[in-house]
Amino acid sequence: MISRQIKDNMIKGLIYVSSAFSVVILMVIIGFILIKGIPSINKDFLTNDYEDKTTYVTVTQAGTGNTYIEGNQCISENYGITLSVSEEGLSVDSIEKDSVLKLGKDGTNAVYPVKKTDVITKIGSFNAERELKNGASAEEILQSTKEALEISDASMKVKVVRKGGGILPMVVTTLYMIGLSLLIAAPIGILAAVYLNEYAEKGKLMTIIHFAIENLAGIPSIIYGLFGSLVFVQTIKLQYSILAGALTVSIILLPTIITTTEETLKTIPKTYRESSLGLGATKLQTITKVVLPNAISGILVAILLSIGRIVGESAALLLTAGTVAQIPERLYGNSASGATLTIKAYMLMKEENDLSTACAIGVILLAIVIVINMSSKLVTKYFLNKGEKA
């Protein structure tokens, strides 16, 4: 009796220790990411491109107004802008809403508005960047800037450098990848689950299909990446593109969507089907009007879980979607490559050893995962409450 009690206490203690260890490890990982990443997160980090962007902007002559130097700033009333000297050139400290610099046009004749935090390295013939390299003082550069802004030409060309360091291209690419992958995988997975649960008869074929699905779920993502690189990138010649990446990720998602949807369909009572058929509905009408609407909660959970898988995927996308930090301009071909948030975090650590920026991206990924998990729970709770009320 005593030995059994001791054994039970030991097992109970082991359970408590294991649970505590899991919680501690989770807290340490999350804490490390938050401590290292949060200081790097700001508005510019979320909204800027990753690479610096240099643009020549042509602006029309502004109205009359004074241009003067006050402290370490050059203030132009006619252009509605305040500039100060920085290491790269002239930082835009403030710019008025009606400034003509917000209506400037780039080389393609598209409007390219100068904004706060931009750096101006050239105004007309005055090159602030060159003067800084030649050792000119801040006072001399401010005086030259004042003179350049006072020249009354019909138009003036300004060289604007927009600082990078942001994750906007990766965020957009990740959203593209989520939307395109689900657009491909969700219909196929749901229809496959409907076939397995509603049409297929038990036998060797069912066994083979379930065996294939189970094995698909267990294959490492790098294998999918190799397959996608060989078939979609090289054979079909989609090149490194979001379409090649989405097609590859769609195959990865199929086991999750099929399995979750099939298990949900099994929970729909047979009486629903029998009642519908008894009222004269066809099998297809019963599935579309009765079965699938009642299984919507499980289907939505499958889709939410798939979004989490897409967000966290790296190996497969590394070999198919590419690593370029840009917003893809098309689905495939040239300029269709793009790096997701996970890929960029990996590349930052591998090539640049930039731990703080990689952890900042990790914070964004953690936030997305938490939102997805909360959404899946809310969806399940909503449909459960709806079912109880019904």
Angle between helices 242-266 and 221-228 in degrees, nearest 10: 130
Q: What is the pLDDT of residue 390?
A: 54
Q: What is the per-residue pLDDT across 242-256, written as a single tens digit (0 to 9) for each?
A: 999 999 999 999 999
Q: What is the pLDDT of residue 374?
A: 84
Q: What is the per-residue pLDDT across 147-185, written as a single tens digit (0 to 9) for each?
A: 988 887 778 899 999 888 889 999 999 999 999 999 999
Assigned token pair, 333: 């071909």
Question: What percent of the chain is helix, strand and coil (3-state, nearest 5)?
Answer: 60, 10, 25
Q: What is the pLDDT of residue 1?
A: 52
- Give me the CATH topology for the region 47-162: Pdz3 Domain (2.30.42)
Quick one: what percent of the chain has pLDDT higher than 70?
96
Confidence of residue 195 (pLDDT cuts 50, 70, 90): very high
Q: What is the per-residue pLDDT across 222-240, written as a single tens digit (0 to 9) for each?
A: 999 999 999 999 999 999 9
Q: Which residues contact 251 (CB under 8 A, 6 or more apart)?
A: 185, 216, 224, 227, 228
Look at residue 298 and tell me whether its pLDDT is greater than 80. Answer: yes
Q: What is the pLDDT of residue 160?
A: 93
| More confident site: 100 or 64 | 100
Q: What is the pLDDT of residue 223?
A: 93
Q: Which CATH superfamily is domain 168-389 in?
A: MetI-like (1.10.3720.10)
CA distance 241 to 96: 40
User: Looking at residues 301-318, what average pLDDT do you find?
Assistant: 88
Q: Would 47-162 and 168-389 be classified into the same CATH topology?
A: no
> What letter represents residue 385's amino acid?
N
Q: Which of 2-6, 61-65, 181-185, 291-295 has the lowest mean pLDDT?
A: 61-65
User: Looking at residues 335-347, what average pLDDT do you find?
Assistant: 90
Distance, C-alpha 85 to centroid of its chain = 35
What are the extents of the domains in the chain? Answer: 47-162, 168-389
